[in-house]
Amino acid sequence: MKTLVIGSAMFEIRMKLDALPKTGEDVLCRESGTLIGGCAYNVAGTLRNMGCAHDLCVPIGKGPYAEIIAGQLKRCGYQILIRDESQDNGWCLDLVEAGGERTFITSPGIESTFRRAWFRGMDLTAYDKVYVAGYQLCGESGHEMAQWLGSLTEQLLFFAPGPVIGQIAPEVKNTIYACHPVLHLNEKEAAEETGESDPQAAARRLYEKTGNLVIVTLGAKGALFYDGSTYHTIPSIATEVADTIGAGDSHLGAVIGGLCRGYDVERAIRFANRVAAEIVRIQGPTMDKEQFEKRMGERDEQDKGVF
């Protein structure tokens, strides 16, 4: 069986700054570049590196950004499952500060207009897992996606609401929670959703909504998960931070990939912590397969006797 990864692939411009500018201030960036990113693209990249069967379901529009993204998907071996030429794909400006923290400014495109009609005729019997990010559940697109996701009965849903968790309509979130998804979010997002500053209390509140596994990433402190009976905290891996772009996406991708490999939840999250530690060491949100195998092989050597 395969995982269906639903969401966006976007053209991104990355700029490294000492610090974000104040209103009216002019600053020079230390380094810049372009890349293809987007939550779904990043998650799929980790699954691809792990050799886990999956399809990447991202809409491709018409325009210069769409053509760049389509070319990258083809180079990665992906079939384009959704073509809608009503508008171009979106793009994103990634501002990375000296400490590695990132700020995104997004100009949305076709990927923000998901509709149920796109999935008509899609054979879902090949999939036992489905991933979706929060960006696809904002605005009118969210109501369309929630109705479609609510119709799935045989697939395990993985939901990563991300920093837009507060922008998703309550009725949309309630529909998704009723699907009993595995929930993956960071400490700040969990606190925003529940009003609980303690990650354990937040995880418990979220479990009450979903009735399924809740994973809360804690940055340098690792990751916590709650399965309805016990809290577990898996420590992070010490690493130097180049930037944090894609760390959460790659972490969840590795969790899904670990479960596909037959790992139990603790082992999958422990492996995901290792993957995320390698992602933050590099520039950009993904590694190619050669990088992944080399870096994870080196990590295996460092971690002998620990894992």
The model's confidence at residue 258, banded by pLDDT at 50, 70 and 90, is very high
Q: Supply the pLDDT for residue 298.
A: 59
Q: Are 102 and 95 in contact (CB under 8 A)?
A: yes
Contact partners, residue 108, CB within 8 Å, separation at least 6: 90
Q: Is residue 227 part of a domain?
A: yes
229: domain CATH number?
3.40.1190.20
Is 192 a member of any domain?
Answer: yes
Q: How far out from the chain centre does Cα 298 lie?
A: 24
CB 115 within 8 Å of CB 143: no
CA distance 59 to 43: 16
Q: Is 244 helix (H, G, I), strand (E, B) or coil?
A: coil
- pTM for the structure as a whole: 0.89
pLDDT of residue 249: 92
Model confidence pLDDT, tens digit, residues 36-82? 989 999 999 999 999 999 999 999 999 999 999 999 999 999 999 99
Residue 301 pairs in a beta bridge with none
Whether 24 maps to a domain, the answer reads no
Residue 146 lies in a domain: yes
Distance CA 139, CA 212 (A): 26
Q: How many domains, in total, are found in the chain?
A: 1
C-alpha atoms less than 13 angstroms from C-alpha of 189 in its C-beta half-sphere: 22
Q: What is the chain's mean pLDDT, rounded?
A: 90
Q: Is residue 307 part of a domain?
A: no
Residue 306 belongs to some domain of the structure = no
DSSP 8-state secondary structure symbol assigned to residue 239: -
185, 217 contact by CB (below 8 A): yes
Structural domain boundaries enclosing 258: 2-19+29-299
